[in-house]
């Protein structure tokens, strides 16, 4: 495969992931694949409406993830960050992988908010597990200088463990063990990323991790003050705190990509323009 075709696939594959996922989501909603409405989204304030889309604002706000993922693929396809010598800018596997996962976050979360069914809730968690598995595997890939084969192997191991945890009857830190495992993997990712910076001496543009953390912090704050039962929760309002959470999380996912894309060695720091 020549480089030109390879670059195009960085955008085309996430685009196909989005298109196929949205079609399958729609078919699943029409045929009731995600199960009858249950209590999976009871804390997210928005009232359940009749029809296929139970929580319209919490559902359609997830389009932000699709936009973020496709933007990542587009920027990589155009070679915007090719001057930075790192895995995500120099090897199409990592960029395509991450862009596709960010795109899938949209339909994955939509499955829960549109259906309010248990299987929809699983797809929502699956999208989170995909992110955690990628971020930890990618951090280790760079710190240990692993080949793409080992990266994919680590990603699969982490994802399988997350899926197992999703159904495990343990209550450690959180009532739901899947949340505990997700949190631990994110903490491990932060630790390994710190090692990448201070041991490998990898240089990054600091505004992007700050943007990611700031977006996530704002998202958590807005979501928590507007959950079901709080004074700011209006179940029928078009302005839903959890919808804003989705949009800010998409911003954080894009900032994380920009952090990855800005990576280069200190010797190359004068060449950085990201």
The three-state (H, E, C) secondary structure of 198-260, written as one string: HCCCEECCCHHHHHHHHHHHHHHHHHHHCCCCCCCCCCCCCCCHHHHHHHHHHHHHHHHHHHH
Q: pLDDT-derived band of residue 271, with 50, 70 and 90 as boundaries?
A: very low
pLDDT at site 245: 94
Q: Which two tokens stand for residue 105?
A: 């976050």
Q: How far apart are CA 39 and CA 121, in angstroms?
A: 10
Q: In the structure, what pLDDT confidence band is assigned to residue 268 with cuts at 50, 70 and 90?
A: very low
The domain segmentation of the chain, as residue ranges, is: 3-271
Q: Whole-angstrom Cα distance, residue 50 to residue 58?
A: 15
Evaluate if residue 273 carries a pLDDT over 70. no
Among 39-53, 66-80, 253-267, top mean pLDDT goes to 66-80
Instruction: State how far Cα 153 lies from the chain centre.
Output: 19
What does the pLDDT look like over 72-89, one tens digit per residue? 999 999 999 988 989 999
Token pair recorded at residue 207:
């505004």
pLDDT band for 9, please (50, 70, 90 cuts).
Answer: very high
What CATH number belongs to 3-271?
Answer: 1.20.1070
pLDDT digits (tens, 9 = 90+) for 13-50: 999 999 999 999 999 999 999 988 887 888 899 999 99
């Amino acid at each position: 495969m020549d480089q030109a075709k390879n670059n195009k696939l960085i955008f085309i594959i996430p685009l196909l992931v989005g298109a196929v996922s949205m079609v399958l989501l729609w078919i699943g909603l029409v045929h009731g694949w995600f199960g009858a409405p249950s209590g999976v989204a009871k804390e997210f304030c928005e009232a359940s409406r009749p029809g296929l889309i139970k929580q319209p604002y919490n559902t359609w706000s997830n389009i932000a993830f699709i936009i973020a993922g496709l933007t990542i693929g587009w920027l990589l396809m155009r070679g915007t960050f090719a001057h930075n010598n790192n895995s995500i800018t120099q090897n199409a596997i990592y960029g395509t992988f991450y862009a596709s996962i960010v795109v899938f976050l949209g339909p994955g979360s939509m499955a829960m908010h549109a259906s309010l069914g248990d299987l929809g809730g699983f797809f929502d968690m699956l999208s989170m597990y995909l992110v955690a598995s990628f971020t930890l595997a990618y951090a280790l890939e760079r710190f240990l200088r692993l080949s793409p084969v080992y990266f994919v192997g680590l990603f699969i191991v982490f994802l399988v463990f997350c899926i197992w945890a999703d159904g495990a009857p343990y209550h450690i830190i959180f009532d739901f063990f899947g949340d505990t495992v997700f949190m631990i993997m994110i903490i491990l990712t932060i630790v390994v990323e710190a090692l990448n910076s201070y041991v490998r001496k990898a240089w990054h543009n600091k505004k992007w991790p700050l943007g990611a953390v700031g977006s996530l912090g704002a998202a958590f704050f807005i979501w928590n003050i507007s959950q079901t039962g709080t004074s700011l929760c209006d179940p029928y309002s078009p302005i839903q705190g959890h919808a804003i959470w989705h949009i800010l999380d998409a911003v954080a996912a894009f900032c994380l990509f920009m952090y990855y894309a800005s990576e280069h060695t200190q010797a190359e720091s004068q060449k950085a323009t990201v």
